Amino acid sequence: MLLLLLISLGAAFCFAIIGVLYKLVASRPWSDDGFRLIMMGLGTVAALALWAVSREHPSSTVVYLSALCGLFGLVSLFSVMRSMALGSGAATWVVLNLSITLVILLAPWLWNEAVSLRQWAGVCAFAISVFLFARDQGEGNRRPVSLRWAVPATLMFLMNGLTLVVFKVLDRAVPTAHTFSTLTIYYGITTALLIPVFMYRRWKDVFVKTPELLAGIVAALAMMVGQALLLKAISIDATTSIPVIHGANVVAVAGASSFLFGERFTRYSTSGVLAGVASIWLLMMPK
């Protein structure tokens, strides 16, 4: 359990770095599209290098399912952007974070994995934490939830959640090492599909300056290490690790935002931190 905790917290730290960088990019007159392209493109290169070093020999199952994850990732990315444009950013943030529960909800039926009451309590505490943080972010952003928003938000929930489901399927179906081959194909497909879309929509924004490039490099490394640790955690215990990773990530981003961007803790964000800590404690208690 200690090993799982360390792996999960390591993944959460990496994802928190990406979250802080997204906030940094959003607060500057930089290119969001260029930043995403750099992050995914360099992530592909880094994963490919580690794939070559590890000498993994992926089966056709790994290739096909990893490519499917790439398609899911692209659809999820654009669904997030569309949901943000059509509705409340706080509501979108809730749906995006709760999408990780899809693999937990499907586990008892797909893999006959029993989920204990303690684990469900931890998942519920994580959900409460997400809603409290969303309430804090939503102050001053009271855009109504409409059907136009609900369609891309539902698609975002499914695509982001199904990516984790496919990762779990891969872990169960493929006994040989496939972490870096999976990530290379996953990132590569997403990058290849992103390039023509962004070239068509905002070709000028693809050419970025040094700050965006540096942020993209750090984000790419954090993304690759974080998802490699996520895949390892899923192979140990998906039901426990996934909420811990995302719960610790939410808490870490809130703390970093307070320190780096001067964002004040309110009663909602403070309660969200406490609920997130309670979620980690419940999920990591000895069985």
Q: What is the pLDDT of residues 7-34, one digit of tens each?
A: 998 998 998 888 888 777 767 776 666 7
Other Cβ atoms less than 10 A from the Cβ of 143: the count is: 13
Containing structural domain, residue 14: 2-284
Interval 178-198 mean pLDDT: 87
Mean pLDDT across 52-71: 91
Mean pLDDT of 221-247: 86
Higher pLDDT, 226 or 96: 226
Inform me whether the pLDDT recorded for 126 exceeds 80. yes
- Per-residue pLDDT, averaged over 180-190, amounts to 92
Residue 18: closest CA among 209, 183, 256, 184? 256
| pLDDT attached to residue 68 | 92
pLDDT higher than 70, residue 91: no
Predicted confidence at residue 89, as pLDDT, reads 62
Residue 182 confidence (pLDDT): 93
The pTM of this model reads 0.81
Amino acid (1-letter code) at residue 61 = T
pLDDT (0 to 100) of residue 140: 46
Which secondary structure element, helix H or strand E, spans residue 101, and what is its range?
A: helix 101-110
pLDDT of residue 204: 52
pLDDT exceeds 70 at position 142: no
Per this entry, what is the length of the chain? 287
The H or E element containing residue 268 is: helix 267-284
265 phi/psi in degrees, rounded to 5: -75, 130
Mean pLDDT, all residues of the chain: 80
Count of domains forming the chain: 1
Residue 253: how many CB atoms within 10 A of its CB?
21
Tell me the C-alpha distance between 225 and 208, whole Å: 24
DSSP sequence for 162-209:
HHHHHHHHHHHH--S--HHHHHHHHHHHHHHHHHHHHHHHHGGGGS--
Q: What percent of the chain has pLDDT over 90?
A: 17
Region 133-160 average pLDDT: 71
pLDDT bin (cut points 50, 70, 90) of residue 45 is very high
Q: Give the per-residue pLDDT at 2.
A: 77
> Which element (helix H / strand E) includes 14?
helix 2-26
Q: How confident is the model at residue 90 (pLDDT cuts 50, 70, 90)?
A: low
